[in-house]
Structure 1
Amino acid sequence: MTEKTREDSAEWVERIVRIRDNKDEAAFVEVFGHFAPRVKAFLMRSGADAALAEECVQEVLATVWNKAALFDPSRASVATWIFTIARNKKIDALRKQRRPEPEDLPWGPESEPDQAEIIGLQQESEKLGAAIAALPEKQRDLIQKAYFGDLSHSEIAEQTGLPLGTIKSRIRLALDRLRHAMDQR
């Protein structure tokens, strides 16, 4: 393992610790920005369609947010832990769909990205963080409850007293704004 790889690994462990100990949203945005596209690509390479891969990515990253305390750096790297969660989520989703399970699912982290990819992903993570911060407060609050708080739309409605349709509309508008902000280059 090179010095740079060890440093990167230590940085990812540090981010998971910040998520675990402080529910640090900035650390989560960095983890999400880095791992979400890799997990989606991994799932699609292992036979998942785009919709299933997207669904699994959301569940994987929600699990990382909610179960960061279960990560043990002495047992696995952050990447291996996240890709193992992804593999298990995909298997669970396939079982729910009652599809036959492929015998040999390839899994594990893909090769390390080059420096240009790392810089690009860091810039995208910063851009996403800024886009979330720029959302109107009502939309930002619902996005945080849905994605960082791992609450369903119904649970948010119970918690806020807002109608379910209002919650869905605001979240949809917020996601559209985030998509638009991320598409601006």
Structure 2
Amino acid sequence: MLAVRDRQDRQAFAELFAHFAPRVKGFLMKAGSDAGTAEDCAQDVMATLWRKAAQFDPARASVATWVFTIARNRRIDIARRDRRPEPEDLDWHGSDEPDQAEVYEAAQETRRLTEALADLPEKQRLLVQRAFYGELSHSEIAAETGLPLGTIKSRIRLALDRLRQKMT
């Protein structure tokens, strides 16, 4: 592997390929891949081994560990890709007009939420607005305000409890 990494030695790569390709294929088949998929994946793993040889660090892992980690990750990628659901058929011919009762209810709910937010103590209201309207994480709010993370979390939790009580 060091010869492949340091000198792009094709003969050394051929020896690695001859040694690892069948083992990777067997590993993938034991993990549930069919022979064709395992063969394709093993080829891809070996190509990755060649392309990313410069990243190999014998201090971090053995060659076998590195190769089988690449194979495992590639198998997971393929499984995720194969399990990806097909998009649903969307009903584009439905009514373009929203139900007026739903529009009215949403407006009422928005009004109640706005009033409930306005009733919060200012310190809590500002944090809720940053978290939900500003789409900031608690850590980002803490960095921005200089407040401790625990304080941010406590104030937001208390504010949400108050909002929940007012909205029910």
Which structure has more relative contact order (CA 8 Å, sep 6+)? It is 1
TM-score, normalising length from structure 2?
A: 0.48
TM-score, normalising length from structure 1?
A: 0.44
Bigger-Rg structure (1/2): 2
